Amino acid sequence: MKPETSQPKADTNSSGGSRSGIPWLAVGSIPVAAVGGYFAQGEAAPWLIAAGSAALTFVAAALFAPSESAGAGESSSSSSSSSSPSSSPSSSSPSSPAKTSDPRFTASSGRSIEAREVANDVLVRAIEVRSTERTALLDSVGDAIVLVDSHGETRFANHAAGVMLGEAATQAGTRHAIEALPSGVFRAVQAVINSGGSERRRIETELTNKDATPVVILVNLVGHTDRLASVIVRDVHSEREADRMKSEFVAKASHELRTPLASLRAYAELLADGEVEDENQRCEFAGIILSETGRLGALVDRMLDIGRIESGMARATYEQVDFSDLASKCVDEQQGEANRRMISLKLARSDRGAFASADRPLMKQVILNLLSNAIKYTPDGGEVSVEVDTDNLARTVVVSVRDNGLGIPEHALPRLFGKFYRVENHEKFAKGTGLGLNLCRNIVEAMHCGQIGVDSKVGVGSRFWFAIPMDQAARKAA
């Protein structure tokens, strides 16, 4: 196809070139004719020849001028048609660039615009996803995070800010968040922004809510151009409570240790100074020293046991334990103390299929502690019984210790298993360290994934119980 389209163009160009050369040849013949006429014989001959040459020149110009226009038109039409087949001659313009009518250029330009639009959509979507992820991350933080400007207006607030400061605090463009905080916070925000980031503020205060929640507020500059500050509000109630409990633990531990040590020192000094001459009295004092020493050793051992369990250092050795047999042996061990107090102690009910995976020495320690407390706080002539049952639905072994003793007030039940806690008015009835029940709870719950609890009524008695899963591996896997 290409040779056929290129050949006519060559013919047209050659024809146009020959035709345009003929008028110039005719014009050039005038001086030639004039010279020829000069040498011709006769007077009229030169003028006739010159006139004929001039006439020939004008005729040639008149004849060949349309051919040149047509050739130019054909050449223009051919060029236009070859460059843009889809456009008509009337719509073509010599000043218009050829690329605008090229379909390949139009298609390429369209694909380029479409690609840019797709890239912009992808970029906008990526920005939206990143913004959503950052908002979700900030909402998952437990601390209240508020972004404010130098006027105290909120730009952003996370979910915790709404919980801690009120839902109105999350409204952008308002001062609800900064107004819900103590007045010193706004002054700290202005100081941090005006400093250009050279200052950071830490404020320990309390919120102006009904609970007077203790908080620590951190104020930092965000960027150096927008003049924004971040206000982070951290609830430190749990930390304060933990510090209080640690201080209380140290105080109570010191008191519990000081009491037997004081007795030991007093009786030891009496014996060392020789002030006790009666042999029976010396034996009595020696018995008291031995008793206080045992009490002191038990206190230290329980404190160490609790510490090891809470720190995760203690490990249980699991085996199949027959709780009916174990409970029976514990009752036998405590029978002497019960007889001394004329208390009826018995194994009231026992399920022979009460087997569970547990640490036998630790379970024995729990049952003995519960029996010892029941005997200790039951008046002489009372009753204490032990029951061993199985809960096939929950797949647990349940051991209960019942008594008809003093009973526990309702307000004391939530704190009964805490460290060093002893019920008021019970301290004068029987001595104790206040660590036995706490140790039982750690053994049952932390080391055996079980449950422990109490049901009691003042003047009627109490029932302490604990439940141990039959299969430790299945319970821990769940």
pLDDT-derived band at 40, boundaries 50, 70, 90? low
Which tops the pLDDT comparison, 15 or 61? 61
| CA pair distance 463, 400, nearest whole angstrom | 7
pLDDT digits (tens, 9 = 90+) for 429-458: 666 667 888 889 999 999 999 999 999 998
pLDDT digits (tens, 9 = 90+) for 364-378: 999 999 998 899 889
pLDDT-derived band at 74, boundaries 50, 70, 90? very low
Residue 71 has pLDDT above 60, yes or no: no
Query: What percent of the chain clears pLDDT 70, i.e. is strictly above it?
Result: 73
Q: For residue 414, what pLDDT is reported? A: 87
Q: For residue 301, what pLDDT is reported? A: 80
Residue 304 has pLDDT above 70, yes or no: yes
322-to-325, 329, 475 alpha-carbon distances in Å: 5, 11, 19
Tokens in use for 96? 């218009």
Residue 294 has pLDDT above 90, yes or no: no
| The 3-state secondary structure of 112-161, one letter per residue | HHHHHHHHHHHHHHHHHHHHHHHHHHHHCCCCEEEEEECCCCEEEECHHH
Which tops the pLDDT comparison, 371 or 82? 371
Which tops the pLDDT comparison, 425 or 301? 301
Tokens in use for 420? 């060093």
Radius of gyration of the chain (CA): 54
| CA pair distance 396, 450, nearest whole angstrom | 9
pLDDT digits (tens, 9 = 90+) for 328-358: 999 999 998 899 889 999 998 887 888 999 9
pLDDT digits (tens, 9 = 90+) for 397-425: 999 999 998 888 888 888 888 887 777 77
Helices first, then strands: H and E counts in the chain: 13, 12
Q: For residue 98, what pLDDT is reported? A: 44
Which tops the pLDDT comparison, 319 or 88? 319
Tokens in use for 271? 């014996």
Read off the pTM.
Answer: 0.51
| CA pair distance 464, 372, nearest whole angstrom | 12
The shares of helix, strand and coil residues in the chain, as percent rounded to the nearest 5, are: 60, 15, 25
Q: Are residues 175 and 153 in contact, defined by beta-carbon separation less than 8 angstroms?
A: yes
Low-confidence winner among 2-6, 281-285, 445-449 (lowest mean pLDDT): 2-6
pLDDT digits (tens, 9 = 90+) for 97-154: 444 456 655 666 777 888 888 888 888 888 888 888 888 888 888 899 999 998 999 9
Mean pLDDT score of the chain:
77
pLDDT-derived band at 289, boundaries 50, 70, 90? confident
435-466: burial string, b at 16+ Cβ within 10 Å, e else: bbbbbbbbbbeebbebbbebebeeeebbbbbb
Q: What is the mean predicted confidence (pLDDT) over 359-363?
A: 92
pLDDT-derived band at 219, boundaries 50, 70, 90? very high
Low-confidence winner among 8-17, 205-214, 315-324 (lowest mean pLDDT): 8-17
Q: What is the mean predicted confidence (pLDDT) over 455-475?
A: 85
Low-confidence winner among 146-160, 192-206, 307-321, 412-426 (lowest mean pLDDT): 412-426
